[in-house]
Amino acid sequence: MASPKGVALALLLSLLSSVLASSSSRDPAGLLERAKESELSDWMVGIRRRIHENPELGYEEFKTSEIIRRELDDMGIAYKHPIAVTGVAGFVGTGRPPFVALRADMDALAMQESVEWEHKSKVPGKMHACGHDAHVAMLLGAAKLLQEYRDELQGTVVLLFQPAEERGSGAKKMIEAGAVENVDAIFGFHVTPEFPVGVVASRPGPILAGSGFFEAVISGKGGHGALPQETIDPILAASNVVVSLQHLVSRETDPMDSQVVTVAKFQGGTAFNVIPDSVTLGGTFRSLSNRGFSQLKQRIEEVIVAQASVQRCNATTDFMNKEHPFLPATVNSKDLHEHFQKVAGEMLGSNNVIEKQPVTGGDDFAFFSEAVPRAYYYFLGMKNDSGGPHHPAHSPYFTINEEALSYGAALHASLAVRYLSENRSPSTSNANLHYEL
Protein backbone atom coordinates (compact mmCIF):
# COMPACT_ATOMS: atom_id res chain seq x y z
CA MET A 1 0.00 0.00 0.00
CA ALA A 2 1.37 3.43 -0.99
CA SER A 3 2.25 5.86 1.75
CA PRO A 4 0.42 9.23 2.04
CA LYS A 5 3.63 10.95 0.97
CA GLY A 6 3.89 8.69 -2.06
CA VAL A 7 0.31 9.41 -3.08
CA ALA A 8 0.85 13.13 -2.67
CA LEU A 9 4.02 12.99 -4.74
CA ALA A 10 2.26 11.04 -7.48
CA LEU A 11 -0.56 13.58 -7.58
CA LEU A 12 1.95 16.44 -7.72
CA LEU A 13 3.85 14.82 -10.59
CA SER A 14 0.59 14.18 -12.43
CA LEU A 15 -0.47 17.80 -11.99
CA LEU A 16 2.95 19.05 -13.08
CA SER A 17 2.85 16.82 -16.15
CA SER A 18 -0.59 18.14 -17.03
CA VAL A 19 0.56 21.75 -16.63
CA LEU A 20 3.65 21.16 -18.77
CA ALA A 21 1.60 19.48 -21.48
CA SER A 22 -0.84 22.36 -21.48
CA SER A 23 2.00 24.89 -21.57
CA SER A 24 3.78 23.16 -24.46
CA SER A 25 0.56 23.03 -26.50
CA ARG A 26 0.12 26.78 -26.31
CA ASP A 27 3.76 27.78 -26.88
CA PRO A 28 4.56 29.05 -30.41
CA ALA A 29 5.70 25.67 -31.74
CA GLY A 30 2.70 23.94 -30.17
CA LEU A 31 0.25 26.43 -31.64
CA LEU A 32 1.80 25.97 -35.11
CA GLU A 33 1.44 22.21 -34.78
CA ARG A 34 -2.22 22.67 -33.83
CA ALA A 35 -2.81 25.10 -36.72
CA LYS A 36 -1.38 22.58 -39.18
CA GLU A 37 -3.86 19.88 -38.16
CA SER A 38 -6.12 19.12 -41.11
CA GLU A 39 -9.29 19.97 -39.20
CA LEU A 40 -8.14 23.57 -38.66
CA SER A 41 -6.08 24.11 -41.79
CA ASP A 42 -8.80 22.77 -44.10
CA TRP A 43 -11.33 24.97 -42.32
CA MET A 44 -9.21 28.09 -42.98
CA VAL A 45 -8.71 27.11 -46.62
CA GLY A 46 -12.47 26.73 -47.03
CA ILE A 47 -13.17 30.16 -45.56
CA ARG A 48 -10.51 31.78 -47.70
CA ARG A 49 -11.94 30.24 -50.88
CA ARG A 50 -15.51 31.30 -50.04
CA ILE A 51 -14.35 34.88 -49.57
CA HIS A 52 -12.21 34.73 -52.71
CA GLU A 53 -15.18 33.65 -54.82
CA ASN A 54 -17.23 36.62 -53.61
CA PRO A 55 -14.88 39.65 -53.48
CA GLU A 56 -16.26 42.94 -52.19
CA LEU A 57 -14.81 46.44 -52.42
CA GLY A 58 -14.25 48.83 -49.53
CA TYR A 59 -17.30 49.41 -47.30
CA GLU A 60 -19.20 46.82 -49.37
CA GLU A 61 -17.88 43.78 -47.47
CA PHE A 62 -21.34 42.72 -46.26
CA LYS A 63 -21.08 39.03 -47.21
CA THR A 64 -17.52 38.85 -45.93
CA SER A 65 -18.62 40.39 -42.65
CA GLU A 66 -21.48 37.92 -42.43
CA ILE A 67 -19.09 34.99 -42.88
CA ILE A 68 -16.86 36.37 -40.12
CA ARG A 69 -19.74 36.87 -37.69
CA ARG A 70 -21.17 33.43 -38.36
CA GLU A 71 -17.81 31.81 -37.60
CA LEU A 72 -17.34 33.91 -34.45
CA ASP A 73 -20.84 32.91 -33.32
CA ASP A 74 -19.99 29.24 -33.85
CA MET A 75 -16.84 29.69 -31.75
CA GLY A 76 -18.74 31.49 -29.00
CA ILE A 77 -16.70 34.67 -29.45
CA ALA A 78 -18.48 37.93 -28.64
CA TYR A 79 -18.10 40.85 -31.04
CA LYS A 80 -19.25 44.33 -31.92
CA HIS A 81 -20.86 45.01 -35.32
CA PRO A 82 -21.24 47.10 -37.36
CA ILE A 83 -18.16 49.18 -36.79
CA ALA A 84 -16.88 51.41 -39.61
CA VAL A 85 -19.83 50.26 -41.80
CA THR A 86 -18.91 46.58 -42.31
CA GLY A 87 -16.14 46.01 -39.78
CA VAL A 88 -16.23 43.55 -36.90
CA ALA A 89 -14.41 43.84 -33.57
CA GLY A 90 -14.44 40.71 -31.45
CA PHE A 91 -12.64 39.77 -28.25
CA VAL A 92 -11.30 36.67 -26.59
CA GLY A 93 -10.16 36.45 -22.97
CA THR A 94 -11.05 38.06 -19.68
CA GLY A 95 -12.60 41.27 -21.03
CA ARG A 96 -10.11 43.15 -18.85
CA PRO A 97 -6.65 44.71 -19.41
CA PRO A 98 -4.20 44.37 -20.92
CA PHE A 99 -5.71 44.60 -24.42
CA VAL A 100 -3.76 43.50 -27.48
CA ALA A 101 -5.27 43.73 -30.98
CA LEU A 102 -4.82 41.62 -34.11
CA ARG A 103 -5.90 43.16 -37.41
CA ALA A 104 -6.94 41.74 -40.80
CA ASP A 105 -8.21 43.76 -43.78
CA MET A 106 -11.23 42.46 -45.72
CA ASP A 107 -11.65 44.34 -49.01
CA ALA A 108 -10.92 43.32 -52.59
CA LEU A 109 -9.76 45.25 -55.66
CA ALA A 110 -11.62 46.47 -58.75
CA MET A 111 -9.92 44.22 -61.30
CA GLN A 112 -10.76 41.14 -63.34
CA GLU A 113 -9.14 37.92 -62.17
CA SER A 114 -7.03 36.25 -64.87
CA VAL A 115 -6.28 33.01 -63.00
CA GLU A 116 -8.40 30.08 -64.11
CA TRP A 117 -9.16 27.81 -61.17
CA GLU A 118 -12.07 26.20 -59.36
CA HIS A 119 -12.58 29.08 -56.92
CA LYS A 120 -12.07 32.00 -59.30
CA SER A 121 -13.94 35.22 -58.49
CA LYS A 122 -17.63 34.99 -59.39
CA VAL A 123 -17.99 38.78 -59.51
CA PRO A 124 -16.94 40.38 -62.81
CA GLY A 125 -14.41 43.18 -62.36
CA LYS A 126 -13.63 42.38 -58.73
CA MET A 127 -10.84 40.24 -57.30
CA HIS A 128 -8.94 39.51 -54.11
CA ALA A 129 -5.59 40.44 -55.66
CA CYS A 130 -3.86 41.52 -52.45
CA GLY A 131 -4.39 38.58 -50.12
CA HIS A 132 -7.02 40.08 -47.85
CA ASP A 133 -9.12 36.92 -48.19
CA ALA A 134 -6.18 35.00 -46.70
CA HIS A 135 -5.72 37.63 -43.97
CA VAL A 136 -9.33 37.17 -42.83
CA ALA A 137 -9.03 33.37 -42.85
CA MET A 138 -5.83 33.52 -40.80
CA LEU A 139 -7.28 35.89 -38.21
CA LEU A 140 -10.28 33.59 -37.84
CA GLY A 141 -7.82 30.72 -37.44
CA ALA A 142 -6.01 32.69 -34.74
CA ALA A 143 -9.38 33.35 -33.09
CA LYS A 144 -10.10 29.62 -32.96
CA LEU A 145 -6.69 28.93 -31.41
CA LEU A 146 -7.16 31.69 -28.85
CA GLN A 147 -10.65 30.54 -27.97
CA GLU A 148 -9.34 27.05 -27.25
CA TYR A 149 -7.05 28.57 -24.58
CA ARG A 150 -9.35 31.41 -23.51
CA ASP A 151 -9.36 30.35 -19.86
CA GLU A 152 -5.59 30.73 -19.71
CA LEU A 153 -5.39 34.16 -21.37
CA GLN A 154 -4.22 36.85 -18.97
CA GLY A 155 -6.03 39.74 -20.60
CA THR A 156 -8.04 40.34 -23.76
CA VAL A 157 -7.29 39.86 -27.45
CA VAL A 158 -9.23 42.24 -29.71
CA LEU A 159 -9.91 40.84 -33.20
CA LEU A 160 -10.19 43.62 -35.79
CA PHE A 161 -11.69 42.72 -39.16
CA GLN A 162 -11.21 45.98 -41.02
CA PRO A 163 -12.93 47.27 -44.17
CA ALA A 164 -11.56 49.48 -46.94
CA GLU A 165 -7.80 49.20 -46.58
CA GLU A 166 -7.40 49.76 -50.32
CA ARG A 167 -9.24 53.06 -50.00
CA GLY A 168 -6.91 54.06 -47.20
CA SER A 169 -9.66 55.02 -44.79
CA GLY A 170 -10.99 51.88 -43.11
CA ALA A 171 -8.49 51.88 -40.25
CA LYS A 172 -9.16 55.55 -39.56
CA LYS A 173 -12.91 54.93 -39.34
CA MET A 174 -12.40 52.01 -36.96
CA ILE A 175 -10.25 54.19 -34.72
CA GLU A 176 -12.88 56.94 -34.76
CA ALA A 177 -15.48 54.34 -33.78
CA GLY A 178 -13.44 53.39 -30.70
CA ALA A 179 -12.16 50.01 -31.90
CA VAL A 180 -8.73 50.43 -30.31
CA GLU A 181 -9.73 52.32 -27.20
CA ASN A 182 -7.55 51.08 -24.32
CA VAL A 183 -5.55 48.80 -26.65
CA ASP A 184 -1.91 48.69 -25.57
CA ALA A 185 -0.43 46.96 -28.62
CA ILE A 186 -1.54 45.92 -32.10
CA PHE A 187 -0.16 43.52 -34.72
CA GLY A 188 -0.84 43.54 -38.46
CA PHE A 189 0.62 41.51 -41.29
CA HIS A 190 0.65 40.92 -45.04
CA VAL A 191 1.33 37.86 -47.15
CA THR A 192 4.16 38.13 -49.67
CA PRO A 193 5.59 35.87 -52.41
CA GLU A 194 9.01 37.41 -51.71
CA PHE A 195 9.81 34.81 -49.02
CA PRO A 196 9.14 31.06 -48.72
CA VAL A 197 6.46 29.59 -46.49
CA GLY A 198 7.76 29.47 -42.93
CA VAL A 199 9.78 32.68 -43.27
CA VAL A 200 8.70 36.04 -41.83
CA ALA A 201 10.29 39.46 -42.20
CA SER A 202 10.10 42.88 -40.60
CA ARG A 203 12.18 45.55 -38.88
CA PRO A 204 11.99 48.15 -36.10
CA GLY A 205 11.20 51.74 -37.06
CA PRO A 206 9.73 52.72 -40.46
CA ILE A 207 8.54 49.67 -42.41
CA LEU A 208 6.04 51.21 -44.87
CA ALA A 209 5.98 54.65 -46.45
CA GLY A 210 3.54 57.47 -46.00
CA SER A 211 1.69 57.93 -49.28
CA GLY A 212 -0.63 60.26 -51.10
CA PHE A 213 -1.95 61.11 -54.55
CA PHE A 214 -2.07 64.29 -56.59
CA GLU A 215 -3.77 65.51 -59.75
CA ALA A 216 -3.04 68.75 -61.56
CA VAL A 217 -4.75 70.58 -64.41
CA ILE A 218 -2.47 72.81 -66.46
CA SER A 219 -4.40 75.29 -68.59
CA GLY A 220 -3.16 77.26 -71.55
CA LYS A 221 -4.59 78.30 -74.90
CA GLY A 222 -5.23 75.75 -77.60
CA GLY A 223 -4.79 76.14 -81.35
CA HIS A 224 -3.42 74.64 -84.52
CA GLY A 225 -0.18 72.71 -84.24
CA ALA A 226 1.16 74.53 -87.30
CA LEU A 227 0.85 77.88 -85.51
CA PRO A 228 2.28 77.30 -82.02
CA GLN A 229 3.10 81.00 -81.64
CA GLU A 230 -0.62 81.70 -81.40
CA THR A 231 -1.09 79.24 -78.55
CA ILE A 232 -0.01 78.80 -74.95
CA ASP A 233 1.03 75.16 -75.03
CA PRO A 234 -0.03 73.21 -71.90
CA ILE A 235 1.64 70.01 -73.15
CA LEU A 236 5.05 71.70 -73.10
CA ALA A 237 4.33 73.12 -69.65
CA ALA A 238 3.15 69.73 -68.33
CA SER A 239 6.24 68.03 -69.75
CA ASN A 240 8.48 70.46 -67.87
CA VAL A 241 6.46 69.80 -64.74
CA VAL A 242 7.06 66.04 -65.00
CA VAL A 243 10.81 66.50 -65.39
CA SER A 244 11.02 69.02 -62.55
CA LEU A 245 9.06 66.77 -60.19
CA GLN A 246 11.75 64.11 -60.57
CA HIS A 247 14.34 66.61 -59.33
CA LEU A 248 12.55 66.74 -55.97
CA VAL A 249 13.95 63.30 -55.20
CA SER A 250 17.28 63.49 -57.03
CA ARG A 251 18.26 67.01 -55.87
CA GLU A 252 16.22 67.98 -52.81
CA THR A 253 15.86 64.79 -50.79
CA ASP A 254 18.37 63.50 -48.28
CA PRO A 255 19.59 60.19 -49.79
CA MET A 256 19.03 58.58 -46.37
CA ASP A 257 15.32 59.49 -46.43
CA SER A 258 13.78 57.35 -49.18
CA GLN A 259 11.18 59.18 -51.23
CA VAL A 260 9.29 58.52 -54.46
CA VAL A 261 7.44 60.80 -56.86
CA THR A 262 5.76 59.02 -59.76
CA VAL A 263 3.68 60.67 -62.48
CA ALA A 264 1.50 57.86 -63.80
CA LYS A 265 -1.23 59.85 -65.54
CA PHE A 266 -0.79 62.30 -68.45
CA GLN A 267 -3.84 63.20 -70.51
CA GLY A 268 -4.09 65.96 -73.12
CA GLY A 269 -5.13 66.40 -76.71
CA THR A 270 -7.13 64.28 -79.12
CA ALA A 271 -5.55 65.10 -82.52
CA PHE A 272 -2.05 65.08 -84.01
CA ASN A 273 -2.22 68.68 -85.19
CA VAL A 274 -4.22 70.43 -82.47
CA ILE A 275 -2.68 71.85 -79.29
CA PRO A 276 -5.23 71.36 -76.47
CA ASP A 277 -6.46 73.97 -74.01
CA SER A 278 -5.39 71.91 -70.99
CA VAL A 279 -3.51 68.86 -69.79
CA THR A 280 -4.24 66.70 -66.74
CA LEU A 281 -1.47 64.83 -64.98
CA GLY A 282 -1.40 62.90 -61.76
CA GLY A 283 0.55 60.49 -59.67
CA THR A 284 1.65 59.37 -56.24
CA PHE A 285 4.28 60.45 -53.73
CA ARG A 286 5.83 58.48 -50.88
CA SER A 287 8.21 59.01 -47.98
CA LEU A 288 9.45 56.89 -45.08
CA SER A 289 9.28 59.88 -42.73
CA ASN A 290 6.22 62.00 -42.02
CA ARG A 291 8.34 65.15 -42.08
CA GLY A 292 9.68 64.23 -45.51
CA PHE A 293 6.16 63.46 -46.71
CA SER A 294 4.91 66.90 -45.64
CA GLN A 295 7.81 68.67 -47.33
CA LEU A 296 7.30 66.64 -50.49
CA LYS A 297 3.63 67.58 -50.67
CA GLN A 298 4.47 71.27 -50.34
CA ARG A 299 7.15 71.14 -53.03
CA ILE A 300 4.98 69.18 -55.49
CA GLU A 301 2.39 71.96 -55.49
CA GLU A 302 5.04 74.69 -55.73
CA VAL A 303 6.79 73.01 -58.67
CA ILE A 304 3.56 72.41 -60.60
CA VAL A 305 2.39 76.02 -60.22
CA ALA A 306 5.81 77.56 -60.87
CA GLN A 307 6.71 75.47 -63.91
CA ALA A 308 3.31 76.08 -65.47
CA SER A 309 3.80 79.81 -64.92
CA VAL A 310 7.18 79.75 -66.68
CA GLN A 311 5.35 78.53 -69.79
CA ARG A 312 2.58 81.17 -69.34
CA CYS A 313 0.06 78.57 -68.16
CA ASN A 314 -2.10 78.35 -65.05
CA ALA A 315 -2.18 75.28 -62.81
CA THR A 316 -4.42 73.91 -60.07
CA THR A 317 -3.41 70.99 -57.85
CA ASP A 318 -5.73 68.59 -56.03
CA PHE A 319 -4.34 66.11 -53.49
CA MET A 320 -7.70 64.30 -53.30
CA ASN A 321 -7.36 63.86 -49.55
CA LYS A 322 -11.09 63.30 -49.02
CA GLU A 323 -11.27 60.43 -51.51
CA HIS A 324 -7.84 59.01 -50.69
CA PRO A 325 -6.67 60.15 -47.24
CA PHE A 326 -2.94 60.63 -46.83
CA LEU A 327 -1.37 57.62 -45.16
CA PRO A 328 1.33 58.33 -42.59
CA ALA A 329 4.42 56.15 -42.48
CA THR A 330 3.99 52.84 -40.66
CA VAL A 331 6.51 52.76 -37.82
CA ASN A 332 7.18 49.57 -35.86
CA SER A 333 7.74 49.64 -32.11
CA LYS A 334 11.28 48.63 -31.12
CA ASP A 335 9.92 46.79 -28.08
CA LEU A 336 7.49 44.80 -30.20
CA HIS A 337 10.25 44.03 -32.70
CA GLU A 338 12.14 42.23 -29.95
CA HIS A 339 8.90 40.50 -28.96
CA PHE A 340 8.28 39.47 -32.59
CA GLN A 341 11.81 38.12 -33.06
CA LYS A 342 11.57 36.05 -29.89
CA VAL A 343 8.12 34.56 -30.57
CA ALA A 344 8.65 33.98 -34.29
CA GLY A 345 12.10 32.57 -33.61
CA GLU A 346 10.68 30.02 -31.17
CA MET A 347 8.05 29.01 -33.71
CA LEU A 348 10.03 29.03 -36.97
CA GLY A 349 13.69 29.10 -35.98
CA SER A 350 15.73 32.30 -35.76
CA ASN A 351 17.18 31.76 -39.26
CA ASN A 352 13.64 32.10 -40.67
CA VAL A 353 13.04 35.51 -39.05
CA ILE A 354 14.53 38.02 -41.49
CA GLU A 355 15.31 41.71 -41.15
CA LYS A 356 13.48 43.42 -44.01
CA GLN A 357 14.33 46.71 -45.67
CA PRO A 358 11.56 49.36 -45.59
CA VAL A 359 8.99 49.24 -48.39
CA THR A 360 7.70 52.35 -50.20
CA GLY A 361 4.27 50.78 -50.45
CA GLY A 362 1.67 52.00 -47.96
CA ASP A 363 -0.97 50.45 -45.72
CA ASP A 364 -3.60 52.19 -43.62
CA PHE A 365 -2.39 50.09 -40.68
CA ALA A 366 -0.27 53.25 -40.30
CA PHE A 367 -3.24 54.94 -38.59
CA PHE A 368 -3.21 52.18 -35.95
CA SER A 369 0.51 52.71 -35.47
CA GLU A 370 -0.26 56.34 -34.61
CA ALA A 371 -3.29 55.64 -32.41
CA VAL A 372 -1.97 52.72 -30.35
CA PRO A 373 1.02 53.04 -27.98
CA ARG A 374 2.84 50.12 -29.61
CA ALA A 375 2.24 48.74 -33.10
CA TYR A 376 3.95 46.16 -35.28
CA TYR A 377 3.57 45.13 -38.94
CA TYR A 378 5.27 42.13 -40.50
CA PHE A 379 5.38 40.13 -43.73
CA LEU A 380 4.46 36.45 -43.98
CA GLY A 381 6.20 34.39 -46.65
CA MET A 382 4.10 32.28 -49.01
CA LYS A 383 6.41 31.48 -51.94
CA ASN A 384 5.84 27.93 -53.15
CA ASP A 385 8.42 25.48 -54.45
CA SER A 386 6.90 25.02 -57.89
CA GLY A 387 9.48 27.21 -59.58
CA GLY A 388 6.73 29.03 -61.48
CA PRO A 389 6.30 32.81 -61.68
CA HIS A 390 5.27 34.67 -58.53
CA HIS A 391 3.00 37.59 -59.32
CA PRO A 392 2.94 40.60 -57.01
CA ALA A 393 -0.06 42.03 -55.21
CA HIS A 394 -2.47 44.04 -57.37
CA SER A 395 -1.80 41.76 -60.33
CA PRO A 396 -4.73 39.92 -61.99
CA TYR A 397 -2.54 36.81 -61.76
CA PHE A 398 -1.95 37.08 -58.01
CA THR A 399 -2.42 33.80 -56.14
CA ILE A 400 -2.23 32.60 -52.54
CA ASN A 401 -0.18 29.65 -51.36
CA GLU A 402 -2.68 28.26 -48.87
CA GLU A 403 0.05 26.39 -46.99
CA ALA A 404 0.88 29.76 -45.39
CA LEU A 405 -2.49 30.03 -43.63
CA SER A 406 -1.48 27.83 -40.70
CA TYR A 407 1.68 29.86 -40.15
CA GLY A 408 -0.17 33.18 -40.13
CA ALA A 409 -2.86 31.96 -37.75
CA ALA A 410 -0.39 30.41 -35.31
CA LEU A 411 2.01 33.35 -35.30
CA HIS A 412 -0.75 35.92 -34.82
CA ALA A 413 -2.16 33.91 -31.90
CA SER A 414 1.28 33.37 -30.37
CA LEU A 415 2.19 37.06 -30.52
CA ALA A 416 -1.01 37.91 -28.63
CA VAL A 417 -0.75 35.11 -26.04
CA ARG A 418 2.85 35.92 -25.20
CA TYR A 419 2.18 39.65 -25.07
CA LEU A 420 -0.63 39.19 -22.55
CA SER A 421 1.48 36.85 -20.45
CA GLU A 422 4.39 39.29 -20.28
CA ASN A 423 2.30 42.45 -19.79
CA ARG A 424 -0.49 41.32 -17.50
CA SER A 425 -1.91 43.90 -15.12
CA PRO A 426 -1.15 43.54 -11.38
CA SER A 427 -4.84 43.87 -10.56
CA THR A 428 -7.76 43.67 -12.96
CA SER A 429 -10.60 42.74 -10.63
CA ASN A 430 -12.35 46.11 -10.91
CA ALA A 431 -11.61 46.81 -14.58
CA ASN A 432 -14.48 47.44 -16.95
CA LEU A 433 -15.20 45.41 -20.04
CA HIS A 434 -13.61 46.84 -23.15
CA TYR A 435 -16.82 46.69 -25.18
CA GLU A 436 -20.47 46.91 -24.21
CA LEU A 437 -21.74 43.66 -25.63
- Residues 125 and 138 both lie in one domain: yes
Q: Which of 318, 351, 377 is the last residue of a domain?
A: 318
Position 153 scores a pLDDT of 95
Beta bridge partners of 219: 278, 314
Task: Please indicate if the annotation marks 130 as binding a ligand.
Answer: yes
CATH number for the domain spanning 250: value is 3.30.70.360
Position 9 scores a pLDDT of 52
Position 436 scores a pLDDT of 43
Angle, vertex CA 356, rays to CA 353 and CA 358, nearest 5: 155
Q: Which domain, by its residues, includes 418?
A: 27-208+329-422
- Residues 188 and 270 both lie in one domain: no
Question: In 167-233, which ranges are continuous DSSP H helix?
Answer: 170-176
Position 257 scores a pLDDT of 81
Greater pLDDT, 388 or 57: 57
SS3 117: coil
- Residues 202 and 214 both lie in one domain: no
- Residues 240 and 305 both lie in one domain: yes
Within a domain: residue 124? yes
Beta-strand pair 156-162/99-105: parallel
Percent with pLDDT over 90 in the chain: 85
Confidence of residue 429 (pLDDT cuts 50, 70, 90): very low
- Residues 170 and 91 both lie in one domain: yes
Percent with pLDDT over 70 in the chain: 91
Write out the H or E segment, with its range, that includes residue 13.
helix 4-26
Residues whose CB falls within 8 Å of the CB of residue 65, separated by 6 or more in sequence, listed in order: 81, 82, 86, 87, 88, 106, 161, 163
Position 16 scores a pLDDT of 45
Within a domain: residue 11? no
Range with lowest mean pLDDT among 77-86, 112-121, 211-220, 382-391: 382-391
Position 437 scores a pLDDT of 40
Task: Please indicate if the annotation marks 313 as binding a ligand.
Answer: no
Report the first-to-last Cα separation within the chain, whole angstroms. Answer: 55
- Residues 40 and 57 both lie in one domain: yes
Within a domain: residue 16? no
Confidence of residue 424 (pLDDT cuts 50, 70, 90): confident
Whether residue 433 is predicted with pLDDT greater than 70 in this model: the reply is: no
The 3-state DSSP composition of the chain as helix, strand, coil percent (nearest 5) reads: 40, 25, 35
pLDDT digits (tens, 9 = 90+) for 135-156: 999 999 999 999 999 999 999 9
Within a domain: residue 4? no
Task: Please indicate if the annotation marks 132 as binding a ligand.
Answer: yes
Within a domain: residue 12? no
Within a domain: residue 270? yes
Position 388 scores a pLDDT of 66
Position 430 scores a pLDDT of 40
CATH number for the domain spanning 85: value is 3.40.630.10
Confidence of residue 325 (pLDDT cuts 50, 70, 90): confident
Q: How far apart are CA 108 and CA 60, in angstroms?
A: 10
Position 5 scores a pLDDT of 56
Q: Which of 318, 341, 369 is the last residue of a domain?
A: 318
Residues whose CB falls within 8 Å of the CB of residue 372, separated by 6 or more in sequence, listed in order: 101, 180, 183, 184, 185, 186
Q: Which of 294, 318, 342 is the last residue of a domain?
A: 318
| This prediction's pTM | 0.88
Confidence of residue 4 (pLDDT cuts 50, 70, 90): low
CB 192 within 8 A of CB 380: yes
Position 322 scores a pLDDT of 82
- Residues 200 and 238 both lie in one domain: no
How many domains is the chain partitioned into structurally?
A: 2
Within a domain: residue 214? yes
Whether residue 40 is predicted with pLDDT greater than 80 in this model: the reply is: yes
Beta-strand pair 330-332/278-287: unpaired
pLDDT digits (tens, 9 = 90+) for 169-204: 899 999 999 999 999 999 999 999 999 999 999 999
Position 384 scores a pLDDT of 82
Angle, vertex CA 170, rays to CA 165 and CA 171, nearest 5: 95
Within a domain: residue 268? yes
* Average pLDDT over every residue of 37-55: 98
Q: How far apart are CA 138 and CA 402, in angstroms?
A: 10
- Residues 159 and 230 both lie in one domain: no
Position 24 scores a pLDDT of 52
Write down the mean pLDDT value for the chain: 91
Confidence of residue 17 (pLDDT cuts 50, 70, 90): very low
- Residues 190 and 312 both lie in one domain: no
- Residues 232 and 309 both lie in one domain: yes
Q: How far apart are CA 329 and CA 290, in angstroms?
A: 6
Whether residue 396 is predicted with pLDDT greater than 70 in this model: the reply is: yes
Omega before 82 cis (within 30°)? yes
- Residues 199 and 288 both lie in one domain: no
Q: How far apart are CA 59 and CA 165, in angstroms?
A: 10
- Residues 226 and 170 both lie in one domain: no
Position 25 scores a pLDDT of 54
Task: Please indicate if the annotation marks 190 as binding a ligand.
Answer: yes
Position 256 scores a pLDDT of 79
